[in-house]
Chains A and B, each alone.
Chain A
């Protein structure tokens, strides 16, 4: 048992443990969870010399202030994040994302905030000392599933870190800049025909705003009301990440990692897999435009996205 841990001095807005997600549980009503931005999640692990599927800390907007106890560690932070390292001599160092650092015992890591995106990732070499539940480390705060009794971290919590051999770790840096692009590509949904021609046209040609109702479950948009002339309810059926549902009020909702497993609103579209990282990073007040792509195009874009991710992962070597 390791005795190394982070003491949480400030929890931040929504600080949880995440990984690649929890599969094979939709039929029990348990959603996938997992890091909202899977590319940044993997990069944080790579930079901290971890297996790509290791558990990391995900934070949203304001991040945590953590004090390290009992040993030194190697860590990395990814995303569009402002953070500082408070050294033992009280020197405050500006942190840089996409680079690994040594943090000494009693030093502090102050993750001040994300900039133009919602989520950032903190990976520690060796990972955290936590248990998997149904084959995943992810915390689902709505159902209280996963480590820390399924709750987000609070002040004075201790987050235990596994022992690791820091001798073997080399310094790694990566030149990566977070893409901020508000064009999100979607495939027509299974209920696309429920919407008026005008609504179909608006969906792909007009801008929508991200409202304050945005969290790990989903993002509610506002803009031009999307008129439905068939039915505003369907027989409840399964959902997946990226589904864009439109309830009776005509405002679209995009499903993210902690979405309910089934829902009864018509599906106007589904965000393509390659754009899920970016859509999840949208912040309240920003805007989004949807662009239609075919299934075949989506598959090609996904291939390019995967090649790109692998290219960055390889640059970390």
Chain B
């Protein structure tokens, strides 16, 4: 299932699963990630320090004091991966308020896409999305795929500060800014839900690769009175 394995520097293995971004390829990435995570947790393999799944890649970082590229590569190549038959089908529902002060980029989207605000929201809220990966900043989920009609490039000049909780779209993906951060996605609303919880020591990120995510709209009043 891995198309090509190479080294990323001297302390990481770069596993390439293919060119495309789709849930078949991403499921393969996640199967390897789950399998290796389990082996690391059970201390059956040594020296692995991090596993980073993304759309179509898996990067396996290791401690060069304990192992090396060849050993880690051989280990990965010899894994017998069981297709994750029982899919990680956790479904998560995210409330979003799209009032003016939270939906920052409707004007830009209207002019770029030639689709009005109501139509954008209808298309956005009517789909269930798949979480390809979590990262960039703590707990940020990369969700896809958006309806073709609302695919839009990122901002020419990224914002220095995107407010925490912002829900953004770009190309075929949606994401949630779990922390205040710089960023260039088109912001259509904000969620009061805690998507990254640093107090949760076991599972700080609410949304993980492979999860299904849908959004629903809430009023400003519901947003302001939100109580988890």
User: Which residues on A are within 8 Å of B, measured CB to CB?
Assistant: 23-30, 32, 133-134, 142-145, 150, 187, 189-190, 235-240, 242-243, 260-263, 267, 270-273, 295, 298-299, 302, 306
Known: A26-B135, A29-B136. A187 touches B10 (CB 8 A): yes
User: Which residues on B are within 8 Å of A, measured CB to CB?
Assistant: 6-12, 14, 21, 33, 37, 40, 49-59, 61, 64-65, 68-69, 133-140, 142, 178-179, 181, 196, 198, 201, 204-205, 209
Q: In the assembled complex, how far is the CB of residue A273 from the closest CB belonging to chain B, in whole angstroms? A: 5
Q: In the assembled complex, how far is the CB of residue B195 from the closest CB belonging to chain A, in whole angstroms? A: 10
Give A25's nearest chain B residue, CB to CB. B50
Inter-chain contact A27/B52, CB cutoff 8 Å? yes
Inter-chain contact A27/B51, CB cutoff 8 Å? yes
Q: Chain A residues near B49 (CB, 8 Å)?
A: 23-24, 32
Inter-chain contact A237/B205, CB cutoff 8 Å? no
Inter-chain contact A299/B53, CB cutoff 8 Å? no
List the 3 shortest-distance A-B pairs measured between CB atoms, nearest first: A270-B9, A238-B52, A238-B59
Give A185's nearest chain B residue, CB to CB. B10
A187: which of B9, B57, B59 is its contact (CB, 8 Å)?
B9
State A181–B134 Cα separation when bound (angstroms).
37
Known: A235-B54, A238-B52, A243-B9. A26 touches B136 (CB 8 A): no
Known: A24-B40, A29-B137, A145-B138. A236 touches B54 (CB 8 A): yes
Inter-chain contact A28/B61, CB cutoff 8 Å? no
State A242–B61 Cα separation when bound (angstroms).
12
Give A306's nearest chain B residue, CB to CB. B65
Inter-chain contact B21/A235, CB cutoff 8 Å? yes
State A228–B85 Cα separation when bound (angstroms).
41
Q: List 18 A-B contacts (CB under 8 A).
A: A24-B50, A26-B135, A27-B209, A28-B134, A28-B139, A29-B136, A143-B179, A143-B198, A190-B14, A235-B21, A238-B135, A240-B12, A242-B9, A261-B136, A261-B137, A273-B10, A299-B10, A299-B68
Q: In the assembled complex, how far is the CB of residue A77 from the closest CB belonging to chain B, in whole angstroms? A: 26
Inter-chain contact A27/B53, CB cutoff 8 Å? yes
Q: Chain B residues near A27 (CB, 8 Å)?
A: 33, 37, 50-53, 134-135, 209
Q: Chain B residues near A236 (CB, 8 Å)?
A: 54-55, 133, 136, 142
Known: A235-B56, A240-B11, A295-B69. A28 touches B133 (CB 8 A): no
Most buried by B among A32, A238, A299: A238
B52: which of A133, A242, A262 is its contact (CB, 8 Å)?
A262
Most buried by B among A27, A143, A189: A27
Q: Chain A residues near B21 (CB, 8 Å)?
A: 235
State A261–B57 Cα separation when bound (angstroms).
13
Q: Chain A residues near B179 (CB, 8 Å)?
A: 142-144
Q: Chain B residues near A32 (CB, 8 Å)?
A: 49-50
Q: Chain B residues near A24 (CB, 8 Å)?
A: 40, 49-51
Inter-chain contact B64/A299, CB cutoff 8 Å? yes
Inter-chain contact B7/A295, CB cutoff 8 Å? yes
State A260–B196 Cα separation when bound (angstroms).
16
A267: which of B8, B52, B209 is its contact (CB, 8 Å)?
B8
Q: Chain A residues near B52 (CB, 8 Å)?
A: 26-27, 237-239, 261-262
State A145–B137 Cα separation when bound (angstroms).
12
